Structure 1
Amino acid sequence: MTTLETTFEQKLFELIPQTRNLGIQITQIADTELHVRGSYALNKNHLDIVFGGSIAAISITTAWSLLQHKIQQAGLTGNLVIKQQEIKFLLPVHSDFECVATLQSVQDWPLFLDSYRQRGRAKLVVNAHILCEARVTSTFQGVFVLYQPS
């Protein structure tokens, strides 16, 4: 983990304190994706699999983090929130796992920037998936909105 990941992770924990309790670690931030390592031990349920609520929360957090990082890189300010999300649980998670978030389409990013600069509001779709033992165990798609505070 580089200084970029460590710094962003610390900022995430400050902005959204609950994320500290998810047992996550940001392991890689790139231009088009962000990787988070998740802890099985901190997220398992009574069935000895990772709790679906944790999977959903970590997927949202990872997707939000990717977009928040790109927004900061672009020098934008505003409030980033999730508007809508869909998650599909494909397989149970029995060990530590990774969540990877990506933009639905890199071509959407310039449109997002233009919309925000012109209207003070923009939305973008971000995808994420959970990997455990080299298998995709869930898929997530979220619509995020960046808006100027009133």
Structure 2
Amino acid sequence: MCAARPGAGACDAGAQRRVSPVTGRGCPRAATLCFWQTPERAPCPPRELETYLHAHIPLSRAMQVSVVQAAPDEVVLSAPLAPNINHRDTVFGGSASAVAILAAWSLLHTRLSAEGLASRLVIQRNTMSYEQPIVGRFTATAAAPDAEAWHQFVRMFRRKGKARITVVSVLHFAGAVAGRLEGEFVALGMDQPA
């Protein structure tokens, strides 16, 4: 498969060439994300998703976001305090929100890719609650929406080329919940206007 790997400068010889649903470009720049995966198969390698995020969403690299887990039912991202610190020596609220959004976006992106659905995925609105200050490395965990909501989302996307779905992402620090994001995302077909 033509999935970008760290240090890869071109597609593997004989690999099937794919085009990124985000950029419309082919290999070598993190062109695909686990297109060979399906929800029933093994999870996407975390390093694949991390490489994809850093290549296509540069803020994730600047924030030093790492992927802990990337599976069709759950994505877990992690970020350190240092590049996300505020004037009170805690994680800046905007950074915490950005990591939570990235986790939810990554979950949807991974699931849509697994279904073979090329899309432009954007967040339309979100609410964020902060439960406690974060003073070190933290995680954001996005869990798959319930099966019925996912089925309706995919069915609408296939029918209309556009669909909305809500995803929850929970921030954890030191074993406790530190915040919660609820985001509404829109998937647009590649032929839909932005």
Bin the TM-score by the shorter chain: over 0.9
Check whether the contact 1:37–1:98 (CA below 8 A) recurs between aligned residues.
yes
Indicate conservation of the 8 Å contact 1:103/1:125, yes or no: no
Task: Please state which structure has a larger fraction of its residues in helix.
Answer: 1
Asked if structure 1 preserves the Cα contact closer than 8 Å seen for 2:44 and 2:71, the reply is no
**2:134 is equivalent to residue 97 of structure 1:** no
Alpha-carbon distance in 1 for matches of 2:145, 2:134: 24
Deviates more, 1:137-146 or 1:27-36: 27-36
SS of the equivalent of 2:113 reads: helix
Q: Which residue of the partner structure matches residue 113 of structure 1?
A: 154
Classify the secondary structure of the residue corresponding to 2:104: helix
Larger RCO of the pair (alpha carbons < 8 Å, separation 6+)? 1
Of 105, 125, 129, 1:84 maps to: 125
Query: Which stretches in structure 1 are left out of the alignment for 5+ residues?
Result: none
1:22 to 63, 69, 78: 63
The separation in 1 between residues aligned to 2:44 and 2:165, in whole angstroms, is 27
- Unmatched tracts of structure 2, length 5 or more: 1-42
Task: Give yes or no for contact 2:49–2:70 (8 Å, CA) kept in 1.
Answer: no
Between structures 1 and 2, the one with greater strand share: 1
Q: Which of the numbers 156, 171, 178 marks the counterpart of 1:137?
A: 178
2:86 matches 1:45: yes
Partners in 2 of 1:3 and 1:101 — Cα distance?
A: 15
Shift of 1:103: 2.8
Q: Which has the larger radius of gyration?
A: 2
Amino acid at match of 1:113: V
CA contact (8 A) 1:13 1:20 kept: yes
Q: State the Cα deviation string for residues 71-104 of structure 1 (Å, max 9, x = none).
A: 1000001210001100001100011111101134
Alignment check: 8 A CA contact 2:149 2:165 kept: yes
CA drift of 1:105 comes to 2.2
**Structure 2 counterpart of 1:32, one-letter code:** D
CA distance in 2, matches of 1:3, 1:66: 11
Letter in 2 for 1:14: A
Q: Does 1:74 align with 2:115?
A: yes
In 1, Cα distance between the equivalents of 2:66 and 2:84? Answer: 13
TM-score of the superposition, structure 2-length normalised? 0.73
**Distance in structure 1 (CA, Å) of the matches to 2:117 and 2:174:** 37
Work out whether 1:64 is the aligned partner of 2:120.
no
Identity of aligned residues (%): 29
| CA distance in 2: counterparts of 1:8 and 1:29, whole angstroms | 7
> Cα distance, 1:13 vs. partner?
1.4
Distance change >3 Å, CA 23–CA 132, structure 1 → 2: same
Aligned partners of 1:32 and 1:106 also within 8 Å: no
4+ aligned runs moved over 6 Å, structure 1: none
